């Protein structure tokens, strides 16, 4: 549906990073399915719009109506640039509802602009808490939840977090997490796009998959060294391939600190669909990503989290995930524990209808 971007839209959906695009995709698809008038604003927080354009196409999503291309910068510069960009768009558009997703600077900026312009704000995936204010994401989530009008909490636990902070119960709606919808919908698309396991010459359940991107892990030579040496030991112990798609920055650090890499298949970053396929068929995943912890939980794949805390405690409660930090002994113990586990946990993030529920609520309440 080609939209006329000059007129007033009912819903303005803001995204800035690929995880946000993925988690908003079920809501966008639901709006399209029901012919609900919406516009899509891409802040370009992670990549330029040009780099993300192919991503929208791959996911069969419409091209954004507005793109700000703010690029990277300090948290303050980035948040300020996004705020002024969104402010300009909304001066013209005046949407009825603004939707943000998650915990990025895009979410912080979008939430503040909506609150100040008195446009009703919906926060998708509200109520997550790591209780670690040193993480910029935690600050972003908390602010968005406290200025939001509709807080779409993925789980009961997220709802409890919000109630504990004195947020009015009528604002909190438990919908499940849109990542469930997205994983199911996008795996279907992925199957039509080729076979990542063939490309990497691995068989289902006969390899480990690793991701590491958090600053506190990859910019710290000691922590990075610990992670790599743990992976080397794991490879010796289990003698199955370890696939590690490496961020260019991480690879630079590995070279710079001359960290020896044995038995680990370091590969350039891979496309979303290839990654989803590899993730769905891995024996086990080691990661420091919040989204990957959830995806593994949904896909029934054991996860070992290379962090000291998580804002996804549900994954630990159902025994889909264990939190080990970056000490090699703890990483090894975590792998042993998760490989020996029984699997077959129930997915705490809902039944894959979160997108539909959220759109239902908005259309009912925004009238």
Burial of 336 (0-12, 13-18, 19+ CB in 10 A): middle
Candidates 9, 75, 123, 213; catalytic one: 213
213: annotated active-site residue? yes
d(CA 207, CA 284): 7
Alpha helices (H) in 94-220, listed in sequence order: 105-116, 136-147, 156-164, 178-191, 196-199, 215-218
H helices within the chain, ranges in order?
18-33, 49-58, 75-93, 105-116, 136-147, 156-164, 178-191, 196-199, 215-218, 221-238, 248-256, 272-281, 290-299, 313-317, 328-340, 354-365
**If you count DSSP H runs as helices and E runs as strands, how many of each does the chain have, helices first?**
16, 13
- How far apart CA 302 and CA 320 sit, in angstroms, is 5
- The set of catalytic residues is 213
């Amino acid at each position: 549906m080609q939209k006329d971007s000059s007129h007033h839209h009912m819903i303005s959906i803001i995204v800035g990073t690929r995880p946000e695009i993925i988690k908003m995709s079920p809501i966008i698809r639901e709006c399209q399915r029901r012919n609900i008038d919406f516009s899509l604003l891409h802040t370009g927080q992670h990549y330029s719009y040009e780099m993300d354009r192919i991503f929208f196409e791959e996911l069969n999503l419409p091209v954004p109506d507005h793109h700000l291309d703010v690029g990277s910068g300090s948290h303050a510069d980035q948040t300020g640039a996004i705020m002024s960009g969104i402010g300009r768009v909304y001066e013209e558009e005046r949407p009825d509802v603004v939707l943000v997703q998650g915990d990025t600077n895009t979410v912080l900026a979008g939430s503040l602009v909506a609150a100040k312009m008195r446009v009703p704000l919906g926060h998708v995936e509200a109520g997550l808490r790591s209780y670690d204010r040193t993480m910029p994401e935690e600050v972003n989530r908390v602010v968005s939840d406290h200025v939001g009008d509709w807080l779409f909490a993925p789980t009961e636990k997220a709802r409890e977090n919000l109630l504990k902070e004195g947020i009015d119960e009528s604002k909190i709606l438990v919908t499940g997490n849109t990542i469930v919808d997205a994983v199911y919908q996008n795996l279907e698309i992925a199957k039509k796009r080729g076979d990542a396991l063939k490309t990497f010459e691995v068989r289902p359940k006969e390899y480990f998959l690793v991701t590491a991107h958090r600053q506190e892990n990859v910019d710290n030579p000691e922590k990075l060294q610990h992670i790599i040496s743990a992976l080397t030991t794991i490879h010796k112990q289990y003698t199955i391939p370890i696939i590690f798609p490496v961020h260019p920055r991480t690879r630079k650090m590995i070279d710079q600190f001359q960290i020896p890499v044995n038995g680990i298949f370091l590969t350039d970053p891979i496309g979303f669909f290839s990654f989803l396929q590899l993730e769905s068929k891995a024996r086990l995943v080691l990661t420091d990503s919040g989204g990957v912890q959830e995806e593994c939980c949904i896909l029934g794949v054991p996860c070992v989290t290379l962090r000291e805390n998580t804002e996804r405690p549900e994954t630990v409660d159902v025994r889909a995930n264990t939190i080990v930090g970056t000490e090699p002994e703890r990483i090894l113990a975590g792998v042993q524990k998760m490989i020996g586990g029984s699997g077959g946990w129930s997915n705490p993030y809902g039944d894959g209808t979160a997108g539909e529920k959220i759109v239902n609520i908005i259309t009912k309440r925004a009238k």
